[in-house]
Amino acid sequence: MTTVTRPWLHTAIGVTVMAVLLFPIYWMVNASLQPNGATIETTWLPLSPDLSGYRTALAEQGGNLLTSLLVSLGSVVLSLVIAVPAAYALAQFRLPWANYVLFAVLISQMIPGIVIANALYNAYAELGLLNSIPGLILADSTAGIPFAILICRALMQSLPPAIVEAALVDGAGPVRAFVSVVLPVSRNALITAGLFTFLFTWSDFLFALTLTTTEDVRPVTLGIYNYLGAYVADWSSVMATAVLASIPAVILLVIAQKYVAAGVTGGAVK
């Protein structure tokens, strides 16, 4: 007895699952376009779209969005500057303690964020890094650096040593060979590590809540949290802020999706 495949059934199931998963996003956008902002009266379609919620969100949360952008980009740069050379050393050099370092990196990923945040608060209070963008960059990099090391090492471990040796024979020094040969070949892993570090930092709430105590430096995640208490009756502004906060992540994921797929699988097959 042969099994009859029904492509239309699989398609219908896939579309249904996708619709369920995307419905909260649709409702967020729909609520942000409502003129009255009350979710209890929100219609299924924004028949009379109103952008007043976005104007309020930009006026109230524009600075917080800029803060999140600066912190996220700074965290990406710092994480890659530290993680990429470390990953290359762990992948290509014959270091007797390399496995212990990798084990320590994995263990660092298991430490609860609240433990790190509390420890950093005491240190930041003495160093004067509270309520500062450099302080948030350092804190958020604690999640980006270990992840970037693991991703980049997986790809760099599969690189043939001959390409680096050829650069050395041609007269390039170790640093020149690393910059001119290894980094271009590792592009997919670098983009993947940078993208996920950006997303980690952009969505961070714990470090923002613990390490900022004033309104001078406030990421958008904490801004939305405080926004709910002040504008709980005006959900169009709240939802508009959430939509604006989602746009950078969506754009990056759409642009970098092919690099992410190649970077995650890089090093899996030699």
Identify the CATH number of the domain in which residue 181 sits. Answer: 1.10.3720.10
Give the total number of structural domains in the chain.
1
Predicted local distance difference test score (pLDDT) of residue 266: 53
- In-domain check, residue 208: yes
Residue 209's domain comprises 54-265
Report the pLDDT value the prediction gives residue 175, as an integer from 0 to 100: 84
DSSP 8-state symbol, 250:
H
Assigned domain for 161 exists: yes
pLDDT digit string (tens) for 219-263? Answer: 999 988 887 765 566 778 888 889 999 999 889 888 887 777 655
Predicted pLDDT at 269:
46
**Closest C-alpha among 233, 262, 248, 190 to residue 67:** 248
Distance from C-alpha of 126 to C-alpha of 219, rounded to nearest angstrom: 22
Q: What is the pLDDT of residues 204-221, one digit of tens each?
A: 999 999 999 888 899 999
| Cα separation, 179 vs 46, whole angstroms | 51
What is the C-alpha to C-alpha distance for residues 157 and 90, in angstroms, rounded to an integer?
8
Judge whether 192 and 252 are in contact, CB under 8 Å. no
147 located within any domain: yes
The predicted pLDDT at position 1 comes to 43
Residue 94 is assigned to a structural domain of this protein: yes
> DSSP strand E in the chain: where?
none
pLDDT < 50 positions in the chain: 1-2, 4, 268-270
pLDDT at 72: 95
**Selection from 161, 141, 148 nearest residue 71 by Cα:** 141
DSSP state of 226: H
pLDDT at 208: 93
Model pLDDT, residue 261:
61
DSSP3 helix / strand / coil % (the chain, rounded to 5): 75, 0, 25
Residue 31, in any domain of the structure: no
pLDDT of residue 64: 93
Q: What is the pLDDT of residue 265?
A: 54
In a domain, 158, yes or no: yes
Token couple for 54: 């976005």
d(CA 25, CA 268): 34
Determine, yes or no, domain membership for 45.
Answer: no
Type of residue found at 53? G
How many other CB atoms are found less than 10 A from the CB of residue 54?
18
Residue 138 in domain: yes
